Amino acid sequence: MGSWIEELANQHEIDLDEKKLTDKQKKILESAIQLFAEKGYNGTTTSEIAKLAGVAEATIFKHYRTKKGLLFRLVIPILSKFASPFILNTLIEILDQDKTIEDILSDLIKDRATLIENNWKTIRIVIVESLFHPDLRDALKEQIAKDVIDTVSKKVDHLKKTGKVRSDLPNRVLIRGIMSQVFGFLFAKNVVPDFLLVGEQQEEIKWTIELLLHGISGKRKETS
């Protein structure tokens, strides 16, 4: 675990050892995830969390001191997970594959879709609450976004050398373009599927890649 994760945990007096969690603590965390995801941090009271968890409200304060302490007990593990070498290694392995750019992007979208779907409620809380908690936002920006962008940028250099992506644009512009399409698809799939999805997942991924590689006007015709 990175020192910044430990520093953030210490700042809020949080014990991140999962093995030490009691059944009551697990119920509190599960209830908090459900309510924070549904109603937001500000829209949820500790009494509501206690009621859903079937514990006394004082139990929450005993273990987490404040509602913000409870919030950070939920989000710090997910921050640690996304900043871990395991997540980055998976991303690197996908980008290092000797495949066409279409297949690489397809694998990338499927991998990120699985990752987000398996952690969706907590990720949603992290994204929303980072808008209101500067320390959480700084952790996302300085510790996760920077590491991921720097790592991916090196892989983009390799993709440029092998001719799989265009070399006339800065790496960060290419990364931004990929991120916009991938996150656009994941947003549609997880938030508003009834409005923005029209096909099965594999078909939607194929269309997303087509739009990413060739834009809204289609493939360019060669001119003499």
| CATH numbers and ranges of domains, the chain | 3-74 (1.10.10.60), 84-214 (1.10.357)
> Which pTM does this prediction carry?
0.75
The torsion defined by the Cα of 114, 132, 152 and 73, in degrees rounded to 10, comes to -60
3-state secondary structure of 222: coil
Dihedral sign from CA coordinates of 164, 168, 170, 172: negative
Residues 6+ apart with CB under 8 A from 124: 37
Instruction: Work out the average pLDDT over 158-167.
Output: 94
Contact 59, 50 (CB under 8 A): yes
Residue (of 87, 143, 92, 137) closest to 115 by Cα position: 87
Range in 12-21, 36-45, 88-97, 132-141 the model is least confident about: 12-21
User: Is pLDDT at 82 greater than 70 in this prediction?
Assistant: no
pLDDT of residue 159: 94
User: Is pLDDT at 191 greater than 80 in this prediction?
Assistant: yes
Contact 49, 66 (CB under 8 A): no
Residue (of 73, 52, 70) closest to 9 by Cα position: 73
pLDDT of residue 221: 54
Residue (of 131, 134, 115, 133) closest to 123 by Cα position: 115
Residue (of 59, 62, 63) closest to 74 by Cα position: 63
Amino acid at 39: K
Confidence class for position 222, pLDDT limits 50, 70, 90: low
Among 58-62, 82-86, 132-136, the range with the most confident prediction by mean pLDDT is 58-62
Instruction: Work out the average pLDDT over 192-207.
Output: 93
**The tokens 């969390």 sit on which residue?**
49
Confidence class for position 1, pLDDT limits 50, 70, 90: very low
3-state DSSP helix/strand/coil percent for the chain, to nearest 5? 75, 0, 25
Question: What Cα–Cα distance (Å) separates residue 117 from each residue in 16, 124, 170, 218?
Answer: 23, 10, 31, 31
pLDDT of residue 220: 57
Residue (of 90, 79, 86, 72) closest to 36 by Cα position: 72
Contact 191, 124 (CB under 8 A): no
